[in-house]
Amino acid sequence: MPSYTAPADLLSGRVVLVTGAGDGIGRAASLAYARAGAQVILLGRRTGKLEGVYDEIENAGGPTPAIYPLDLEGANADHYAELARRVEQEMGRLDGILHNAAELGVLCPLELYPPHIWAQAMMVNLNAPFLLTQACLPLLKKSPDAALIFTGDDVGRHGKAYWGAYGIGKAAIENMAQILADELENTPVRVNVINPGPTRTSMRVKAYPGLNPLEVPTADQIMPLYLYLMGPDSRELRGQSLNARDWMRP
Ligand code: NDP
């Protein structure tokens, strides 16, 4: 099993954007990236939650983060263009994006799947990562070593009954990451996918209400792969889809 311990200054001097930074895996990744020296742009829809993560980073002595409230369900290309413009103006650079935010939608047969929930889930899980990536690529390409990380799921690798828009969106994310990795082969931007595996978050509880969440790893335990793929130690790795549980801290 691979193991990875990030050096304390892994992301020093880098600017990294995390979507869904206010809770769950996104919150843990934001804290881990800040601990490794990154200035983190905390993007999410609830300012209160983002402020909580901001305070945790500041209290731990990390580089002052930035908060970017945005509801990915309603955001369009103009919103992402404005985001990229402000990141360049205010931070001067962008060295990585963790596309982490996602909506579960509902679990039910496709025959009964409510079209409006389909549209919401696709906006957050698929359209948002596409539009955000497209808007930020010119800035990422200016970085000497940029990382784009997408988030997959087991149900996106093999279609499974009742996972509807969520499963289909995750399958499409894997494909989008492969296309981007291929297209960006000769640029400083490397693209990879993390499949977190079962993780103790509110999404897990919502998806598996009958299972004990204490039996699965915490978001903090799966951070080694998140750090590895965001930092320069994975410079040679492109177009991979890796399981965070294989790199887990005990
Ligand atoms: P959580 O539901 O705990 O966190 C998801 C985050 O995304 C929250 O901060 C949430 O904001 C944010 N978000 C959701 N919708 C929007 C929106 N419209 N606009 C902006 N932000 C939004 O999920 P996890 O931490 O468990 O999941 C993180 C990633 O890992 C997801 O991509 C998920 O698919 C994937 N994953 C998780 C697994 C698990 O077992 N937990 C297993 C496999 C994959 P808010 O706090 O406001 O709701």
pLDDT tens digits for range 28-78: 999 999 999 999 999 999 999 999 999 999 999 999 999 999 999 999 999
Indicate if ligand 1 lies below 6 Å from the C-beta of 132.
no
Structural domain contains residue 6:
no
Classify the C-alpha dihedral 136-137-141-144 as positive or negative. Answer: positive
Using the atom order of ligand 1, give the atom closest to the CA of residue 125.
32
Structural domain contains residue 9:
no
Amino acid at the residue 10: L
Using the atom order of ligand 1, give the atom closest to the CA of residue 120.
18
φ/ψ of residue 202, rounded to 5? -70, -30
pLDDT tens sequence across 198-238: 999 999 999 999 999 999 999 999 999 999 999 999 999 99
Structural domain contains residue 89:
yes
Structural domain contains residue 137:
yes
Structural domain contains residue 59:
yes
Residue with tokens 């990875």: 4
Which residues are within 8 A (CB) of 4 and not within 5 positions of it... i.e. 6 or more apart? 224, 225, 227, 228, 233, 247
Structural domain contains residue 7:
no
Indicate if ligand 1 lies below 6 Å from the C-beta of 169.
no
φ/ψ of residue 190, rounded to 5? -105, 145
Q: Distance between CA atoms of 192 and 226, rounded to whole angstroms?
A: 10
62 CA from centroid of ligand 1 (Å): 24
**Residue 3 reports pLDDT greater than 90:** no
Domain with 149 in it: 15-247
Indicate if ligand 1 lies below 6 Å from the C-beta of 201.
yes
pLDDT tens sequence across 121-180: 999 999 999 999 999 999 999 999 999 999 999 999 999 999 999 999 999 999 999 999
Residue from 170, 176, 166 nearest 156 by CA? 170
186 CA from centroid of ligand 1 (Å): 31
Indicate if ligand 1 lies below 6 Å from the C-beta of 46.
yes
203 CA from centroid of ligand 1 (Å): 6
Q: Please tell me the number of Cα atoms within 13 Å of 46 on its side-chain side.
A: 9
φ/ψ of residue 231, rounded to 5? -100, 175
Q: In the chain, how many domains are there?
A: 1
What is the CATH number for 118? 3.40.50.720
Structural domain contains residue 142:
yes
Indicate if ligand 1 lies below 6 Å from the C-beta of 39.
no
Using the atom order of ligand 1, give the atom closest to the CA of residue 28.
25
Structural domain contains residue 222:
yes
Contact, 128 vs 72, CB < 8 A?
yes
User: What residues are labeled active site?
Assistant: 166
